[in-house]
Structure 1
Amino acid sequence: MEPDPRFTLANERTFLTWLSTALALSAGGVAMAAVPEGVFAPWARTLLAVVLVTLSALAAGMAYPRWRNIQRALRRQEPLPPPALAVVFGVGVTAVAVIALICIVVAA
């Protein structure tokens, strides 16, 4: 059975949002790696850049499987799968923000 097109299109928009988020995280990681040496300690710059790019890879890598699983559930009229990486992204982005905040306060 074909699901309501509105749900399919909403699922597609969510997929594209995951890809946009991945691109933003990747750009943030590259920007963090390019921060001048005097701003953050080298280890902090590297750590923040690696975490951001890793989150980017996870977002991009999990976008299609998530889209596919939701589409399958919609077609079978089953419950939608839970967002498996929500906790990882919440904790990861929070960690980046806290580490960056600490570095900014210490540098000031």
Structure 2
Amino acid sequence: MARQRFPQSVYSHGTEPDARFTLANERTFLAWIRTGLALLAGGVALEALGLGLHPAFQLSASLMLMITGIVSALQAWLGWSRYERALRENTPLPNAPLALPVAIAVGLTGVLVVLGVLFK
């Protein structure tokens, strides 16, 4: 009897793609996870180290980084499952819906840190 693979929403469709594409998709998943971990660590460090920024801007930037880290982990899972399913069904790869919000959030965090320095 064949073992069931998780998640069924991915593996119950199409045929097994070339292993190279599946492994590339997993590397992309891991890159999003590493990005999320770095954002979370940056948010914690910004708040914990007390860099002498204006307190409101420091807290806002820290929270933005931590929330963006969580969103990056969500993008990792959503992206992996959507790409894997597209590979299995031999259809065009979908876009990364949370990539733009993550990029915007990182940019806004930079603005908050600059403002925190200017208004300390």
**TM-score normalised according to structure 2 size:** 0.81
Once the two structures are superposed, the pairs formed by residues 13-52 of structure 1 within 5 Å of their partners are: 13-36=27-50, 39-52=52-65
- Aligned residues: CA RMSD: 1.5
Distance in 1 (CA, whole Å) between partners of 2:26 and 2:109 is 28
- Tell me the CA shift for residue 41 of structure 1: 1.2
Residue 73 (str. 1) matches residue 86 (str. 2): yes
* AA at the equivalent of 1:2: E
Give 5+ residue unaligned stretches, structure 1. Answer: none
Structure 2 gaps of 5+ residues are 1-14
Map 1:88-107 onto structure 2 (within 5 A): 88-107=101-120
TM-score, normalised by the number of residues in structure 1: 0.89
Larger radius of gyration: 2
Aligned length: 106
Query: Displacement of 1:97 after TM fit?
Result: 1.1
| 2:15 is aligned with 1:9 | no
TM-superposed CA distance for 1:62, in Å, is 2.7
Which is helix-richer, 1 or 2? 1
SS in structure 2 at match of 1:36? coil
1:58 has 2:58 as partner: no
Could you tell me whether the CA contact under 8 Å between 2:57 and 2:115 is conserved in 1? no
CA contact (8 A) 1:35 1:45 kept: no
Q: Deviations over 1:50-79 (max 9, x none)?
A: 100000111112311210111000000011
Contact 2:75 2:99 in 1 (8 A): no
Quote the Cα distance in structure 1 between the aligned partners of 2:106 and 2:18: 34
